[in-house]
A and B are shown apart, each in its own frame.
Chain A
Amino acid sequence: MAKKKLKDLKVNFNTSWEYAPAPESKDHVKINDRYDLFINGKFTAPQSGKYFDTINPATEKKIAEIADASAEDVNMAVVAARKAYDNVWSKLPAKERGKYIYRIARIIQERAREFAVIESMDGGKPIRESRDVDVPLAAAHFFYYAGWADKLDYAAPGKKVRPLGVAGQIIPWNFPLLMAAWKIAPAIAAGNTVVLKPAETTSLTALKLAEVIRDSGLPDGVVNIVTGAGVTGAAIVNHPDINKIAFTGSTEVGKIIQRSIAGTNKKYTLELGGKAANIIFEDAAIDQAVEGIVNGIFFNQGHVCCAGSRLFVQESIAETVIRKLKDRMETLIVGDPLDKNTDIGAINSKDQLNKIKQYIKIGMNEGGTCYQSSCAIPTKGYFHRPTLFTNVSQSSRVVQEEIFGPVLAVQTFRTVEEVIEKANNIPYGLSGGVWTDKGSKIFKVTSQLRAGVVWANTYNKFDPTSPFGGYKESGVGREGGLHGVMPYVKIEN
């Protein structure tokens, strides 16, 4: 009896300890009512005259209107990029290229808080994350690749590298500024020029970045930013004068792109979906592992392609881990993205929220047991409680498919071999996690996981020097680090 009581003991968080609101100020942030396309160094109205609204997913209120670029606008951007490549950027000494990129990094740092606030307003992510992760990493990315510009002779031993020309880049809505940095920095450092399209729900920080780029004095046309939805993206992918496509987004769209550019000479990198296994062994530091699980799946509302969305717990500790995990989930604060206490912000869009809800239904219909924290969520805006599923199997759709939300599927295992088999038995291969205090076990698992990034006793860490990208259907090519230079160059003798 005494034992059972001890086991049932848990911290009671339901006390008078409450967090007073701690909202980040948005007074200093300048947002225009309307944003045009950034083509050839100037903000240019779309030829169609069409604009679409960008809304704050936490309030459902319109923030600004954004130009909807047509194929003609994309063509203008490509023409500007080609001209800048031929006449200016490919002729500039490499060290001067680098210096422009350093300037961009510095200006982002100077305006960091503004970027963080806008990122949270436009995309719904907690200000703590945009302030401490997205924006500093974006600046660091420019800083890192700036230095590569005049060191490319060291990138490919025994060979020379040359730029490819004009790169068309399409980025997702989960890390809007950071993804823009991941794409633009290595491309222009290697001597290419760029036409970039942000996701339609999160264009604002890319357009703010356009201001930074203009203010940095970067030659006109080296970076062009066109906004819009799928039609704009397709115009980039299919433009005959683009030499390289870099895409981050869903595997479904990645495959469409791979098919679309068949028969052309376009090079491509694809950074696609994932369904990472986060594996907890019985000899792991359990409390740290629980923090890692929470960070793995609830970071950025689970809108992370490398999210640890499949939890594998060794059978002997499953009960303890799940109990601790549920307790920890109870403490997560879901709410105003601009509040510094918020752990989980707003789901990026209504569509995405509906998709997540749909998957919850699917999981329950398949016989899964659904658990959600009991926290209050705002009545206005798109919010979703942290959720986990137990009693799921390898074939469950919530185990096999990428949900891209705060939904964790929990499975158990007995042996190392079993968990490796289960972890790899999926079309994706972007990332994975392993938690154990035994070093030899770490290397056994990390070396056998078919995934491009593996975190051992940690999760969801990113760095500009660290290559990122997937195996199998999670994509082709790497971004970040030395390996992230290679997709933007051709290797010559």
Chain B
Amino acid sequence: MDTAKTQTKKEAIMNGSGENGHASGKKQSRIDVLKTYKIYIDGKFPRTESGRYYILKAADGRQLGNICQSSRKDFREAVVAARKAQPGWSAKTAYNKGQILYRIAEVLEGRKSQFIDELMQQGIDNVAATEEVNLSIDRLVHYAGWSDKFIQVFSSVNPVESSHFNFSIPEPTGVVSVIGSEKTGLIGLISVIAPAIVGGNTVVVLASESKPLCAISLAEVLQTSDVPAGVVNLLTGNAKELNGHFSSHMDVNAIAYCNADEEQLKTIQINAANNVKRVLDYSKHDWMNAESQSPYFIMDFQEIKTTWHPIGQ
């Protein structure tokens, strides 16, 4: 990563956001085009239907944007999109899903500087931001490779006593909702989204409230990486407000919780019982740790199906 370039961009942003007409140079400084941050539902970029927003500020108090404070209705629409997309996504070949995940990594690599820049705006230093983005790209490549392998590793042919051919294979759990990691802007998202979707699930993810910028940019990456509409849906907003909805929705099959708030986790676990949702408690994972990737994260969102057939004439 070119540090100097980042610095320049950072200054430019600062210029644009207030101290207009920085007078030192002869040339009049350019007015930056500021971005309107949206959410991502069914392959489209709406603002929240509720019209609500919260102001995201940098550590130095600069205003970074009016971020969508997503509503229950946004979530419900995202679940409809995820459910609609799930059978088609699941039916894609393992080779195809692997290539699409790899494509996400490729596109992310090409836009690396933007993500580092966004992480830095949200208070991460350059070294840590670079490390997080690199790790995110590598993690996508890691899971891309599992696409056509995890089924082999976790399947079995079972030597039953009767005269039957019997085998067990993993299949996607279905629609997964995710209360994403509050602490990290990018790696927390990638670490849950990648294993869930490589296994054929579709997801609705709530981004970090304090570090939402990368989530929105990630949506742009996903949209241009051949990921079909509805496979990944990304919302921004408040976990405390939304976790009840994320966990009680009857058409969501599993929920992953990535934060440390025990009360929120308990609420999720209670609501999950409405339709026997699978609950994945990722509160203790440090996603920056290299150990926080493995095919067992894929298996967290899989069901084992066993099929019997007689052997005879």
Binding site for B on A (CB under 8 A): 140, 156-159, 251, 254-256, 258-259, 261-263, 270, 272, 427, 442, 446-447, 450-458, 461, 463, 465-469, 471-476, 478, 481-483, 491, 493
Contacts and interface: CB of A to CB of B under 8 A. Distances in A.
A468 B272 CA distance: 22
A442 B310 CA distance: 12
B308 A258 contact: no
B253 A472 contact: yes
Contact of A478 (B164, B171, B265, B304): B304
Nearest to B268: A262
Nearest to A448: B87
A258 B269 contact: yes
A474 B304 CA distance: 13
Nearest to B173: A471
B4 interface: no
Contacts of A491: 296
A258 B174 CA distance: 20
B35 interface: no
Contacts of A263: 262, 265-266, 269-270
Contacts of B114: none
Contacts of B276: 251, 254-255, 258, 270, 272, 472-476
Contact of B309 (A427, A450, A458): A458
B278 interface: yes
Interface of B: 153, 156, 158-162, 164, 166, 168, 171, 173-174, 253, 262, 265-267, 269-270, 272-276, 278, 291, 294-296, 303-310
A159 B160 contact: no
A476 B254 CA distance: 11
Contacts of A472: 253, 275-276
A159 B296 contact: yes
A157 B153 contact: yes
A466 B153 contact: no
B308 A469 contact: no
A466 B309 contact: no
Contacts of A261: 269
A263 B158 CA distance: 36
Contacts, number: 113
A446 B161 CA distance: 22
Given A258-B273, A456-B309, A483 B156 contact: yes
13 contacts: A156-B296, A254-B276, A258-B269, A258-B276, A262-B267, A263-B270, A272-B276, A466-B168, A471-B303, A472-B253, A476-B278, A481-B156, A482-B156
A465 B309 contact: no
A64 B164 CA distance: 40
Given A259-B270, A262-B273, 12 more contacts: A258-B269, A263-B262, A263-B270, A452-B304, A453-B306, A454-B305, A456-B307, A458-B309, A463-B161, A466-B160, A466-B168, A491-B296
A458 B305 contact: no
A147 to B, nearest CB: 12
A289 to B, nearest CB: 12
Nearest to B253: A472
B67 to A, nearest CB: 31
Contacts of A251: 276
B178 to A, nearest CB: 18
A259 B271 CA distance: 8
B306 A454 contact: yes
Contacts of B304: 452, 467, 469, 478, 483
B156 A461 contact: no
Nearest to A486: B299
B166 A463 contact: yes
A181 B304 CA distance: 21
Contacts of A463: 158, 160-162, 166
Contacts of A427: 275
Given A157-B153, A453-B305, A454-B307, A466 B273 contact: no
A446 B159 CA distance: 20
A467 B164 CA distance: 14
Contact of B159 (A256, A450, A452, A465): A465
A455 B308 contact: yes
A14 B199 CA distance: 56
B173 to A, nearest CB: 8
Nearest to A473: B276
Shortest beta-carbon contacts, A-B, top 7: A262-B269, A263-B266, A258-B273, A463-B160, A465-B158, A255-B273, A262-B270
A471 to B, nearest CB: 5
A475 B277 CA distance: 9
B307 A493 contact: no
A450 B159 CA distance: 24
A457 B158 contact: no
A136 B173 CA distance: 33
Contacts of B303: 452, 471
Nearest to A451: B305
A262 B263 CA distance: 10
Contacts of B294: 158-159
